[in-house]
């Protein structure tokens, strides 16, 4: 077998032979890396080549098992991998070069970290002997990303490539998911060693994620639930990560408890269900915020009580006993003190809890909430003078799309209008940056989602400000013929900041008016080879949207919207979540 050629494809095909042959083939670190990625089930990589990762790209050139998507900026690669991971439930993968290539991924890594999204970023690095010497295109990506990753590695030896890569994927997708960075010195990628794939399970000393809480605590939770008359379930992104949507619905129906979700928890519970309260928090529904405030029991599942949900903490759920379920013990009692903690995987806990819970005496509570829903509807018609109503556009999209359509948003007003006025009914259908609030996320994330789920329609809802941060990724969408429909809401402002300036700073619109310097978005899209159309009323939008969704290529619809339309309800920063502004 000494004459065995060493391409990664032949390695994969002859793995059984390697397991029995004593003379393992001698191959490069780059070939080991790609072979291990195939073994991890990687089918797509988002990346941008450079000098220190040429050995890896040379191997990928002959690799049919993995599709490489060439983005136009490394930040776009991380957002695309993030969108891919959120839509598919798999781990997103990024490869970039050293120095600026690696540092350009920081915003995307931080986005994934804040939202608990599993991605693995492979960063090229200068040769080992040049590290720490201010070499050309050297950056300490380990130090830079230490606070925004679950873990990071720098591979020192070609013999460690496989084991480190396997650990990286294991850490990224187990426990509370998150990003992992693997730094790859170019000399390690070029170095050769004998290689036989390791089929053993990954074991990392000191890393043992909780998966199931003890039965005694679960029984105690059931006893607390049985005494509740005003329960509320508060569901976060952990439900999505756990794949526990069905378990959540069964628990809510068994308890007869209303359910409110965080931004990242949207889709975990069908919003057309009678027990749905929609989203809570700063831009949550009136009835969700009031239900939480007046509840006698709050069951938080896979949520971390962030400030956009709690508002003024001293006035958050003041009369409620709090049961907190989370896989990350560091989240327990960090922001809000719980009465009972259940540390473990949400699906596992609910599967043990639901059979032993009793139906709450909550009929009167549900009746009161239904009355609130009628008295304080989220959607209210507004008069427009210049363009279409943004909330009407979102509502129209919701009415014209199927329940499994994937909606990716950017950040700002477009994001909150989508969260409030699009009816999400199944998990993994909203792709949005929650914790970091990253403008520019929407377009590349929608591309990643569409590549990961080619059988689904994908719609990106974006503002004119955020779109310009990553608009170059239109080239990626066109190059790979990604059939994403881009709805660009153009009000000529950095809308959410302008809204705050209007409401709290006497309309002093400091540096938020961008309409006078915006490009012609239609010409911009067409210059990349995308189809595009501009509309300013709902009927024209309906016609354009149908055409775009039916198209098999990227299609941008620029919607001229009312310039000073605001997102309501809204809770002023630092106030109680029941101190809501409902309209102008």
**DSSP secondary structure letters along 49-104:** --GGGHHHHHHHTT-SSSEEEE-SSHHHHHHHHHHHHHHHSS-EEEEE-STHHHHT
Domains identified in the chain and CATH numbers: 8-194 (3.40.50.970), 215-375 (3.40.50.1220), 390-560 (3.40.50.970)
The residue with tokens 């300490």 is 140
Walk along the chain (584 residues) and give the pLDDT tens digit of each residue.
Answer: 333 334 555 555 545 434 444 578 999 999 999 999 999 999 999 999 999 999 999 999 999 999 999 999 999 999 999 999 999 999 999 999 999 999 999 999 999 999 999 999 999 999 999 999 999 999 999 999 999 999 999 999 999 999 999 999 999 999 999 999 999 999 999 999 999 999 999 999 889 887 778 999 999 999 999 999 999 999 999 999 999 999 999 999 999 999 999 999 999 999 999 999 999 999 999 999 999 999 999 999 999 999 999 999 999 999 999 999 999 999 999 999 999 999 999 999 999 999 999 999 999 999 999 999 999 999 988 888 888 999 999 999 999 999 999 999 999 999 999 999 999 999 999 999 999 999 999 999 999 999 999 999 999 999 999 999 999 999 999 999 999 999 999 999 999 999 999 999 999 999 999 999 999 999 999 999 999 999 999 999 999 999 999 999 999 999 999 999 999 999 999 999 999 999 87
Quote the tokens at residue 5.
């050629």
C-alpha to C-alpha distance for 514 and 535, rounded to whole angstroms: 19
CB 97, CB 138: distance < 8 Å: no
At 386 the pLDDT is 80
Quote the tokens at residue 507.
């309309």
At 387 the pLDDT is 87
At 584 the pLDDT is 75
CB 342, CB 221: distance < 8 Å: yes
C-alpha to C-alpha distance for 554 and 472, rounded to whole angstroms: 13
At 143 the pLDDT is 97
User: What is the pTM for the complete model shown?
Assistant: 0.95
- What is the phi-psi region of residue 238: left when phi exceeds 0, alpha when psi lies from -120 to 50, beta otherwise? alpha
At 2 the pLDDT is 38
At 133 the pLDDT is 95
């Amino acid at each position: 077998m000494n004459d065995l050629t060493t391409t990664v494809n032949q390695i994969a095909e002859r793995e059984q032979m390697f397991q029995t042959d004593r003379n393992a083939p001698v191959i490069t670190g780059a070939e080991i890396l790609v072979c291990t990625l195939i073994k991890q089930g990687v089918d797509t990589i988002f990346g941008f080549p450079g000098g220190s990762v040429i050995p890896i790209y040379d191997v990928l050139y002959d690799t049919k098992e993995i599709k490489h998507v060439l983005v136009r900026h490394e930040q776009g690669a991380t957002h695309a991998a993030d969108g891919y991971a959120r839509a598919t439930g798999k781990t997103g993968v990024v490869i970039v070069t050293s120095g600026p290539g690696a540092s350009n991924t920081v915003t995307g890594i931080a986005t994934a970290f804040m939202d608990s999204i599993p991605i693995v970023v492979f960063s090229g690095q200068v040769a080992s002997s040049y590290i720490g010497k201010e070499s050309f295109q050297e950056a300490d990506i380990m130090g830079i990303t230490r606070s925004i990753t679950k873990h990071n590695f720098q591979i020192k030896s070609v013999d460690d490539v496989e084991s480190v890569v396997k650990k990286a994927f294991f850490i990224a997708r187990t426990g509370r998911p998150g990003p992992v960075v693997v730094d790859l010195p170019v000399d390690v990628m070029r170095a050769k060693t004998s290689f036989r794939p390791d089929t053993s399970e990954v074991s990392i000393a000191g890393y043992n994620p909780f998966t199931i809480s003890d039965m005694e605590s679960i029984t105690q939770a059931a006893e607390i639930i049985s005494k509740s008359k005003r329960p509320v379930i508060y569901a976060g992104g952990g439900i999505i990560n756990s794949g526990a949507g069905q378990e959540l619905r069964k628990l809510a129906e068994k308890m007869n408890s209303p359910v409110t979700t965080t931004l990242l928890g949207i889709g975990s519970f069908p919003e057309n269900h009678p027990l749905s309260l929609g989203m809570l928090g700063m831009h949550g529904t009136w009835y969700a915020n009031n239900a939480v405030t007046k509840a006698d029991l709050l069951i938080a599942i896979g949520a971390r009580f962030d400030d956009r949900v709690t508002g003024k903490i001293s006035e958050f759920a003041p009369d409620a006993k709090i049961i907190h379920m989370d896989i990350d013990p560091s989240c327990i009692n960090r922001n809000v003190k719980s009465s009972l903690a259940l540390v473990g995987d949400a699906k596992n806990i609910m599967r043990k809890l639901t059979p032993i819970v009793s139906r709450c005496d909550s009929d009167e509570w549900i009746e009161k909430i239904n009355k609130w829903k009628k008295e304080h509807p989220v959607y209210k018609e507004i008069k427009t003078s210049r363009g279409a109503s943004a909330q009407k556009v979102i509502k129209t999209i919701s009415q014209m799309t199927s329940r499994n359509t994937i909606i990716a948003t950017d950040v700002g007003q477009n994001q909150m209008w989508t969260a409030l006025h699009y009816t999400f009914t199944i998990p993994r259908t909203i792709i949005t940056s929650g914790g970091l609030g990253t403008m520019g996320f929407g377009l590349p994330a929608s591309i990643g989602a569409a590549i990961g789920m080619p059988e689904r329609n994908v719609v990106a809802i974006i503002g004119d400000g955020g779109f310009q941060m990553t608009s170059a990724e239109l080239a990626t969408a066109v190059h790979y013929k990604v059939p994403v429909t881009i709805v660009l809401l153009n009000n000529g402002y950095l809308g959410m900041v302008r809204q705050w300036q209007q409401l709290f700073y006497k309309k002093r619109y400091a540096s938020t008016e961008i309409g006078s310097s915006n490009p012609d978005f239609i010409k911009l899209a067409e210059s990349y080879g995308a189809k595009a159309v501009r509309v300013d009323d709902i009927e024209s939008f309906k016609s354009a949207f149908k055409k775009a969704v039916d198209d098999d290529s990227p299609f941008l619809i620029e919607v001229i919207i009312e310039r000073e339309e605001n997102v309501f309800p809204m809770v002023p920063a630092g106030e109680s979540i029941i101190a809501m502004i409902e309209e102008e």
